[in-house]
Amino acid sequence: MQLRPLGNTGLQIAPLVFGGNVFGWTVDEPRSFELLDAFVDAGFNAIDTADVYSRWVPGHRGGESETILGKWLAAKPSRRDKVLIFTKVGSDMGDDRKGLGQRWIERAVEDSLRRLQVDVIDLYQSHRPDPGTPHEETLGAYQRLLDAGKIRAIGCSNFDATQVADAHRAARAHGLPTYRTLQPEYNLYDRASYDGPLRELAIELGLGVIPYYSLASGFLTGKYRTEKDLGKSPRGGGVKKYLTPRGLAILKALDEVSARHGCGPAEVALAWLMAREGVTAPIASATSVEQMKSFSTAASLALGTDDLAALATASAPQA
């Protein structure tokens, strides 16, 4: 599988990143190990998680995903050389454990390293903007972690174009490291927040872009076509917003394109992202090995001009 440069990080990644939010939430530890093994065996090499995963589950405190990933790495140490570990800091972990201030970052990175059972995090990302902390404080904290060899590169998630530009200017003004990657919400349905100024800036700065919600919480798999379908999984409740005339038009286009290629709608939706300028590799999750097989199909799928035109027409953001 051909690797792609992740912006200017010096890291090379396969065209799809495994989304680790499911570990300890919709899949237990044994299934997580099975999925991770299948992912690496298929030739993929990057796994994305966050310290806060999965604090939203009743009885969880955060750190569950990192902990499972760490146990998997520890079970066979040779795996560490085969994978890149991406995690994030900044989301609310309870009490004063949140934000992008220096004190919390310095504490949070140690917690993540311990849970992941690694000496260095390949990509450490600001999970969301922190209006109460100057960019130079955050980037200064990252500089110290880079110098100490605890992280290899930094990125940001959920930043808009203004926030990315402001952080870049602050880095240049203070001689600090710049964000090298961006993690936006982006898929065939949710296009408006990335297409436009943010995408143009990401291309201009040479950022590695790893979009999340690549399958719109599962909607783009074609699994949910009516409100009766929403009870099919724990994530169904978040899909209702996609059951619109535009959403159904996107599914229709996906059905037509996937029929031409003999694959499923999910593979086409992921292949569309992989083919987009301004996207390095989408993030996708799986809860079964069968779903995992679709990742390989998507990575090898070449969409034609007619395919891309049909998808562009159906998914064009409405004014």
Residue 78 forms part of a structural domain: yes
Cβ atoms within 10 Å of 150's Cβ, excluding its own: 19
**Position 168, amino acid:** H
The Cα-based distances of 128 to 109, 133, 145, 159, 176 in angstroms read 16, 12, 19, 6, 19
**What does the pLDDT read at residue 235?**
65
Label residue 192 exposed, middle or buried (CB < 10 Å: 0-12, 13-18, 19+).
exposed
Give CA–CA dist 307/303, Å, rounded: 6
Residue-wise pLDDT tens digits, 160-210: 999 999 999 999 999 999 999 999 999 999 999 999 999 999 999 999 999
Range(s) of the domain holding residue 90:
4-183
Residues 6+ apart with CB under 8 A from 287: 22, 26, 27, 31, 35
DSSP letter string, 80-110: GGT-EEEEEE-S--STT--SS-HHHHHHHHH
- The residue behind tokens 């035109």 is 309
Residue 236 forms part of a structural domain: no
Residue-wise pLDDT tens digits, 282-315: 999 999 999 888 999 999 999 999 999 999 999 9
The answer to whether 121 touches 85, Cβ cutoff 8 Å, is: yes
Q: Is pLDDT at 159 greater than 70 in this prediction?
A: yes
Q: How many domains does the chain have?
A: 1
Q: What's the rounded mean pLDDT across residues 91-103? A: 96
Round to the nearest angstrom and report the end-to-end CA distance of the chain. Answer: 39
Lowest-pLDDT range, 8-22, 172-186, 233-247? 233-247
Residue 101 forms part of a structural domain: yes
Of 143, 84, 75, 68, the residue nearest 109 (C-alpha) = 143
Cβ atoms within 10 Å of 126's Cβ, excluding its own: 28
Residue 263 forms part of a structural domain: no
Residue 275 forms part of a structural domain: no
Residue 196 forms part of a structural domain: no
**What does the pLDDT read at residue 61?**
95
Give CA–CA dist 34/37, Å, rounded: 5
Residue-wise pLDDT tens digits, 29-88: 999 999 999 999 999 999 999 999 999 999 999 999 999 999 999 999 999 999 999 999
Residue-wise pLDDT tens digits, 116-135: 999 999 999 999 999 999 99
Instruction: Assess whether 53 carries a catalytic annotation.
Output: yes
Residue 315 forms part of a structural domain: no
CATH number for the domain spanning 66: value is: 3.20.20.100
Name 126's bridge partners: 89, 156
53, 179, 186, 189: which is the annotated catalytic residue? 53
- The residue behind tokens 């031409």 is 260
Residue-wise pLDDT tens digits, 140-157: 999 999 999 999 999 999
Residue 210 forms part of a structural domain: no
